[in-house]
Structure 1
């Protein structure tokens, strides 16, 4: 009973971060971006333009769906307002992890613009991403069981890429494939996209299983 109460307290504290369906579209966009890079034709042309346009539409749709799906959670569970003591550390944590993500994205974008696909740089970015997931899991209280396995899977992808055993690279370079997309960038976006899809669905499942549908009044 005490374990359940502690879990309810933790889920309530990070309620808005565990609304997995709100973040699911961003994972799908990253997967779409990875596929677009993998199938990017050597000459670019209309196929590349259509892919870029579709990607832009996907990002816009994800941004629109984020608040819309928030209304779904509010109607199902009520409105949960974090205390003032909780808001500040959550904001600091969000800024810290966003900063790490931005630095990784800028670094990979710089490598891609130079035509570089260094195994070490991509593997390092994936390893840092895995460590960030574990750090996030530890900071928020270690009550979410599915973060360490996902981080472990991402670290495994980093190791496979570093050892030259990345199956994505083998698929891209097999046969008559003509994709000019860098394998490392495809792997990084695919790994994060798949991780986000799995994490958000499991977050949603945990939220549904932990919290019963709330009455109309707000839950403090």
Structure 2
């Protein structure tokens, strides 16, 4: 069942909420930039271009795109992943993220991230955030963002239609994935790039309010005021 959006365009109503992680719930910018800077310096690559195109994308896809011909993509990806797992200094939750996750019903929330499960657990813990019970991480999909597979899988696991879900995303690839899945998508933070028509933007969750109610049919409804 599709939930109508109220006339106030800054209010969105849904049955389930799907969050990206890096840049959306967790600020890990310094570590991400450090790891990709080392990678680009090692191979004489354009660091700015790597950052521009890697945000929100699985690490293996970025390595495959930029690594020199003949490079062992699997080994390089594993090496980068190992480097990221031991670096947690400076990781923090986005303002308001912890409170928002506490308010939302646990069985209506999913994490959909391009990180693998080990890295996702490490970063969520470092940021002081509880890992949602439903999490779609890199190893659970065959096609990463901007493909919609992860978001469609998460909606299915939560038992909702895409039209009844809401995505929070910070990167162009993730925003594209949410929209391709047919899910209303809210852009978060400064790295979203130009936004498609109809995509609302928030800096963080400081001014976001949420209400969890029950409709006339007894179904749960989550309302966001952005």
TM-score (norm. length: structure 2): 0.34
TM-score (norm. length: structure 1): 0.34
* Larger-gyration structure (1/2): 1
